[in-house]
Amino acid sequence: MFRRYPGLTGILLAMLLAGCAGVPGSVQYQPLVTEQKSIPQVSVTVSYKEDGIYQVEVDNGLRETISLQWNNSAYLNTGGDTTRLIHIPNLDRFPDETPAEQLPSPIARGARLETYFVGESWIDFSRRGVTPRPKDIENKAKIYLSFNIRGKRVYWTGDVTFVPDK
């Protein structure tokens, strides 16, 4: 049957790779991000959007421009593995390839940055619209956002807990 319909094999494989996202009885989890280490005069809010994509909003209350350093920012998953964060400036133009180097995002004095990111190790899931699953829902994941402030590297840290969708 599969030799006769080679396209069917690809369709079935894609459905299998999509996981159990739509299978009745499968549990989906909503990541909730809680700030653990703040940066004085810099307001950072991270929230989960969908399919492994997070949104970050940064309000710079300092008197000088700061920058979000994507190459030094990371996600520590529930299994203890670290992955680099990939900046997604425009959700309508998702990157075809993972960039080797990423430009920092400058944030002027009194300005706000609203943008998106995804973990490098699950970017292919996000491209296909599939939500990655946490390895261990009992443990917390961590997000480390690196900022260049006055020539120094300063980290904002958030804990990620996973709550079952209702």
Reported as a single tens digit per residue, the pLDDT across 143-164 is 999 999 999 999 999 999 998 8
Q: How far is CA 9 from CA 14, 16, 74, 119, 122, in A?
A: 9, 11, 36, 29, 24
pLDDT digits (tens, 9 = 90+) for 31-62: 999 999 999 999 999 999 998 999 999 999 99
Is residue 59 within 8 Å of residue 43, measured between CB atoms? yes
- Tell me which residue has tokens 């706000």: 112
Tokens of 29: 């989890």
- pTM, two decimals, is 0.81
- Residue 21 zone, left/alpha/beta (φ > 0; ψ -120 to 50; rest): alpha
CA–CA gap between residue 28 and residue 134 (Å, rounded): 10
**pLDDT of amino acid 129:** 81
- The single-letter code of the amino acid at 43 is S
